[in-house]
Amino acid sequence: MDSMARALTPKDLSGDPRRRRRESTVKFLFFTAGLVSIALSVLIIVSLAGEAWSFISQVELSSLWTIGWFPRRGLYDIPTLLIATIIIAGIGMLIAIPLGLGAAAYLAEYASPRMRKWLKPTLEMLAGIPSVVLGFWALSFISPEVVQRLFSTAKPFTMMAAGIAVGVLITPLIATVSEDAMRAVPTPLREASYGLGANQSTTVRKVVFPAALSGVVASLILALSRAIGETMIVFMAAGAVGGALRTWNPLQPGQTMTAAIASLATGSDQVAGEGLAFQSLFFVGLLLFLLTLALNSMSNRIVRRFREQYT
Amino acid sequence: MTAATDRKRKATADAVSASIRSGGPNWKPLAFQGLLLVLLLTSMLILVALLADIAVSAWPTFQSRGLSFVTSGLSLNPETAGVFTGIVGSLVIAGIVIILAFPIGVAAAVYLEEYAPDNRWTRFVDTTVRNLAGVPSIVYGLLGLAIFVPLVRNIGLGGSTSGKNVVAAGITMAALVLPIVVITAAEAIRAVPSSIREAGFGVGATQWEVIRSHVLPSALPGILTGTVLTLARALGETAPLLVIGVATGYFAPAGNATMFDQLTGSYTALPVIVFSWTRQTQAEFADTLAPAAIIVLLVVLFILNGVAIWLRNRTEKKW
């Protein structure tokens, strides 16, 4: 009972030292796990940039601007890949924007709760279909049944077929993210519009849509980034496996940045550990990484600002 | 004076009403609603057409082969080729993803939500995770090719493929899904009300004790649902595997080889089989076998999604 008489010191209140040691060990472990994602980012940048740099420092600059992308022949025409990426992502967006936004607006503003309960999971299911499946479908259905019927001159492998399939892939993404943005618009805004005598279609077009615009724009940027980063559809359906000529014609085969990487990596004469063609893979990968990073952070920033608006 | 004010008021009301109504006749709103419905149904119709077209193409295979299509391995002969080799590869990859990405991802989420102070460093980590989640999957393939394949070779698991094996594939896929695991787990942890934590602290529990016995159990349904959906995503990915040297042609399965040889030898995965059969020169592979493999893949993903919904409904808590 001697200790009772002594005044309490902070040491007495700080508890069992073993328990405290365990606390700091656990905290350190969690902190390390958090570091893994930082490490991953660093590894991605280092591995891409290292090989990309040795590519840029060895390649003849004139071979970066020629007639097409034929890495095995030493022709690394970057515009070929960029143009094909723009064409395919552009066709995809042209298809996905009306379908996705229309579906989002109907689900958010018109659909009865029961209808929504069935339709939204179906859309989400469409979002879960692996891209290799859409690549197969682009080749076996969209190309012969859609593209070649509309344009009799089209070949089996076209950027058009790949673009349409990319559109199908990103439609549910636009629909679900935009629908969330439209549902986040507070009901009083709609009621104010009805109170002024507006009907539902006017309210949707002139009140809900503008109020949800930042979320909608964010969803579109996200979808664009996904379209640019999509590999399997383009690789399977747009052809041009050995290389591609520079062309703006969507009825021609083409190779995007992603497909160029996949095709080089799976070529019949598998790229060895050395050589310029192997390093060009990483250069294209770095371009792709930076492009999608810029789009994603733009979309994230818009979403954050949008979230602050109503909460 | 009142008459003038009334007139003015009426004019204002008319102007407002006209501008809001856009002065159109009554069929316009209906046409707009109809247009939206058509767009929605078109999206749905594409899904139905896709599934129907693939199911019809796949039907002959299942009709003539039945379950032997699922239980037989790769073959050059379309009569006997099956997807079993791919299922095994996909399962091993999924196993490695669960072992690596799940604990690290959940721990990182716990750090971000429970321990990290709200400062620049934490926001930096948070932004990094979000950006990683948006990196195209093929870039992770390049990461695997540059880092994980040599890593696997250097730790002695290279085997006959000098590192281009299922172990490297599993690590690459784990890296690919890690940011998604962190984001979904963090959302589940954030949804646990702070009163639950305060109750724990109130009876003298330390932070780790509160996390272990209160926060994680409460967040578990959300974490599990997210993990299962993430696994579905990993099972459908093809592009990164192509970059890190998955076998896209026929290879002799390591029949009675040792466990080590099987793990470090050539491998394939379910979606990769779809891809390689599409490219086969024999028409049967692309016309009937590839759609059948797609059906198997979709059934697996469908089951995983069902498990996720079941988990969510069974263990969901309302606060």
pLDDT, tens digit, for every residue of B250-279? 777 655 667 777 778 888 999 999 999 998
- More confidently predicted of B280 and A268: B280
Of the given ranges (A85-89, B22-26, B146-150), which has the lowest mean pLDDT? B22-26
Same domain, A135 and A153: yes
What's phi and psi for A134, nearest 5 deg?
-65, -30
Instruction: Report the pLDDT value the prediction gives residue B75, as an integer from 0 to 100.
Output: 82
Q: Check CB contact under 8 Å for A30 and B108.
A: yes
Q: Check CB contact under 8 Å for B236 and A128.
A: yes
Q: Check CB contact under 8 Å for A232 and B182.
A: no
Residues of chain B contacting A172 with CB distance shorter than 8 Å:
43
Q: Check CB contact under 8 Å for B132 and A171.
A: no
Q: Check CB contact under 8 Å for A37 and B182.
A: yes
Look at residue A2 and tell me if it is in a domain: no
Q: Check CB contact under 8 Å for B136 and A258.
A: yes
Least Cα distance to B141 among B261, B269, B297 occurs for: B269
- Helix (H), strand (E), coil (C) string for chain A: CHHHHCCCCHHHHCCCHHHHHHHHHHHHHHHHHHHHHHHHHHHHHHHHHHHHHHHHHHCCHHHHCCCEEEHHHCEECHHHHHHHHHHHHHHHHHHHHHHHHHHHHHHHHHCCHHHHHHHHHHHHHHHCCCHHHHHHHHHHHHHHHHHHHHCCCCCCCCHHHHHHHHHHHHHHHHHHHHHHHHHCCCHHHHHHHHHCCCCHHHHHHHHHHHHCHHHHHHHHHHHHHHHHHCCHHHHHHCCCCCCEECCCCCCCCCCCHHHHHHHHHHCCCCCCCCCHHHHHHHHHHHHHHHHHHHHHHHHHHHHHHHHHHHC
Look at residue A5 and tell me if it is in a domain: no
Instruction: Report the pLDDT value the prediction gives residue B33, as an integer from 0 to 100.
Output: 92
List the single residue in B33, B206, B248 with the smallest CB-CB distance to A23: B206
Q: pLDDT grade, residue A1 (50/70/90)?
A: very low
Q: Check CB contact under 8 Å for B305 and A128.
A: yes
Evaluate if residue B7 carries a pLDDT over 50: yes
Same domain, A214 and A80: yes
Instruction: Report the pLDDT value the prediction gives residue A168, as an integer from 0 to 100.
Output: 95
Instruction: Report the pLDDT value the prediction gives residue B315, as an integer from 0 to 100.
Output: 67
Residues 220-279 of A with CB under 8 A from B: 222, 225, 228-232, 235-236, 258, 261-262, 265-266, 270
Same domain, A279 and A154: yes
Q: Which of A29, A35, A36 to mutate to test the interface with B (most CBs of B within 10 A)?
A: A36
Instruction: Report the pLDDT value the prediction gives residue B100, as an integer from 0 to 100.
Output: 95
Model confidence over A191-245: pLDDT tens digits?
A: 999 999 898 999 999 999 999 998 899 999 999 999 999 999 999 999 867 788 8
Instruction: Report the pLDDT value the prediction gives residue A268, as an integer from 0 to 100.
Output: 47
Same domain, A22 and A79: no
Measure the CA–CA gap between A259 and A234, rounded to whole angstroms.
6
> Distance from A2 to chain B by nearest Cα, in Å?
25
Per the CATH hierarchy, to which homologous superfamily does domain B83-315 belong?
MetI-like (1.10.3720.10)
The total domain count for chain A is 2
pTM above 0.95, yes or no: no
Query: Does A107 lie at the interface with B, CB-CB under 8 angstroms?
Result: yes
Q: pLDDT grade, residue B221 (50/70/90)?
A: confident
Instruction: Report the pLDDT value the prediction gives residue B99, as an integer from 0 to 100.
Output: 95
Query: Does A14 lie at the interface with B, CB-CB under 8 angstroms?
Result: no
Evaluate if residue B305 carries a pLDDT over 90: no
Of the given ranges (A68-77, A110-119, A144-153, B225-234), which has the lowest mean pLDDT? A68-77
> Distance from A52 to chain B by nearest Cα, in Å?
12
Same domain, A126 and A256: yes
Same domain, A44 and A100: no
Instruction: Report the pLDDT value the prediction gives residue B256, as an integer from 0 to 100.
Output: 64
Evaluate if residue A133 carries a pLDDT over 90: yes
Average pLDDT for B283-293: 89
Q: What is the percent of chain A where pLDDT is above 70?
A: 93
Model confidence over A272-296: pLDDT tens digits?
A: 445 788 888 899 999 999 999 999 9
Q: pLDDT grade, residue B27 (50/70/90)?
A: confident
- CATH code, domain carrying A123: 1.10.3720.10
Look at residue A12 and tell me if it is in a domain: no
Instruction: Report the pLDDT value the prediction gives residue A5, as an integer from 0 to 100.
Output: 59
Evaluate if residue B237 carries a pLDDT over 50: yes
Look at residue A9 and tell me if it is in a domain: no
Instruction: Report the pLDDT value the prediction gives residue A292, as an integer from 0 to 100.
Output: 94
Instruction: Report the pLDDT value the prediction gives residue A309, as an integer from 0 to 100.
Output: 60
Query: Does A97 lie at the interface with B, CB-CB under 8 angstroms?
Result: no
- More confidently predicted of A265 and A205: A205
Q: pLDDT grade, residue A182 (50/70/90)?
A: very high
Same domain, A277 and A239: yes
Residues 55-84 of A with CB under 8 A from B: none
Domain extent, residue A30, equals: 17-58
Instruction: Report the pLDDT value the prediction gives residue B240, as an integer from 0 to 100.
Output: 95
Evaluate if residue B319 carries a pLDDT over 70: no
Q: pLDDT grade, residue B162 (50/70/90)?
A: confident
Q: pLDDT grade, residue B23 (50/70/90)?
A: low
Evaluate if residue A270 carries a pLDDT over 60: no
Look at residue A7 and tell me if it is in a domain: no
Residues of chain A contacting B184 with CB distance shorter than 8 Å:
none
Q: Check CB contact under 8 Å for B135 and A232.
A: no
Same domain, A53 and A73: no
Evaluate if residue B41 carries a pLDDT over 70: yes
Q: Check CB contact under 8 Å for B143 and A270.
A: no
Look at residue A94 and tell me if it is in a domain: yes
> Which residue is closest to A128 within chain B, CA to CA?
B233
Q: What is the percent of chain B where pLDDT is above 90?
A: 55
Instruction: Report the pLDDT value the prediction gives residue B254, as an integer from 0 to 100.
Output: 59
Look at residue A118 and tell me if it is in a domain: yes
Look at residue A202 and tell me if it is in a domain: yes
Residues of chain A contacting B168 with CB distance shorter than 8 Å:
none
Q: Check CB contact under 8 Å for A265 and B125.
A: no
Model confidence over B103-158: pLDDT tens digits?
A: 999 999 999 999 999 899 999 999 999 999 999 999 999 999 999 999 999 998 87
Exposure letters A182-206 (e unless 16+ CB within 10 A, then b): bbbbeeeebeebeebebbbbbbbee
Three-state SS at B137 = helix
Same domain, A53 and A153: no
Residues of chain B contacting A103 with CB distance shorter than 8 Å:
36, 39-40, 43
Same domain, A174 and A240: yes
Q: pLDDT grade, residue A269 (50/70/90)?
A: very low
> Which residue is closest to A122 within chain B, CA to CA?
B44
- More confidently predicted of B183 and B286: B183
> Which residue is closest to A283 within chain B, CA to CA?
B142
Residues of chain A contacting B142 with CB distance shorter than 8 Å:
47-48, 261, 281-282, 285
- Average predicted confidence (pLDDT) for chain B: 88
Q: Check CB contact under 8 Å for A128 and B301.
A: yes
> Distance from A201 to chain B by nearest Cα, in Å?
5
Instruction: Report the pLDDT value the prediction gives residue B45, as an integer from 0 to 100.
Output: 92
Same domain, A118 and A194: yes
Same domain, A49 and A141: no
Q: Check CB contact under 8 Å for B146 and A23.
A: no
CB pairs under 8 A between A and B: 258
